[in-house]
Amino acid sequence: MSNRLKTFLKNKSQSKYSQFVLSIISFIESIFFPLPPDLLLIPICYYNRNKIFFSVINCTFFSVLGGLVAYALGYFLYDTINHLFDQSKIQHFINFYNKWGVFSVIIGGFTPIPFKIITVTSGFLKFDLFLFLISSFFARGLRFLLIGIAIHLLGDRGIILLKKYKFSIFLVIPILLVMMVIIVKYFLN
């Protein structure tokens, strides 16, 4: 990375507006914005190591809040356009989502899958709001916390590890978590 870019990122990440911008990006990314808040969270955590956990909480809270807005959009949009779909197929999908929706939210909130797809779909399918919020806080919080911890504990090496192993971290880990929950669920039943 060039020195000019590093200086720019450092200055912007240490700006008194950096947390506000992180809040806005986290919020709108859950609704429509194409870039993940990680792109801003990483330099903010790196250049403000004493505010890592505040940044993680800020990013998580506003991401879930944006997800709640997207959920509402999907929820109210359904009534407007449901006549366009085969209701029997929609009902099968709703039944599937009601059974496995928590896992969809966790995987969508943690992985590189755009979270906005999960948030709008959850509302559209009228997935249980409480389960949606709990799953969202868990998935988004864990994702952003792993980024913060990697930077806090490892600094430059943490960023390199995040970049090098992002597929393993953000795709394999949540799938393993979901598989463990499913196994435990069926083992206990």
Question: What digits encode the pLDDT tens for the residues 120-160?
Answer: 889 988 899 999 999 999 999 999 999 999 999 988 888 88
Q: Which is more confident, 18 or 174?
A: 18
Helix orientation angle between 87-110 and 115-124, rounded to the nearest 10 degrees: 140
Residue 44 has pLDDT above 90, yes or no: yes
Domain layout of the chain by residue ranges: 3-188
**Average confidence (pLDDT) over 4-19:** 82
DSSP-derived 3-state class of residue 31: coil
pLDDT grade, residue 188 (50/70/90)? Answer: low
Query: Which pTM was predicted?
Result: 0.82
- What DSSP element (H or E) covers 46? helix 38-47
Long-range contacts of range 37-42, CB-CB < 8 Å, 24 or more positions apart? Answer: 37/63, 37/144, 38/143, 38/144, 38/147, 41/144, 41/147, 41/148, 42/147, 42/151, 42/159, 42/162
* Residue 124 CB coordination number (10 Å): 23
Tokens 């099968």 found at: 92
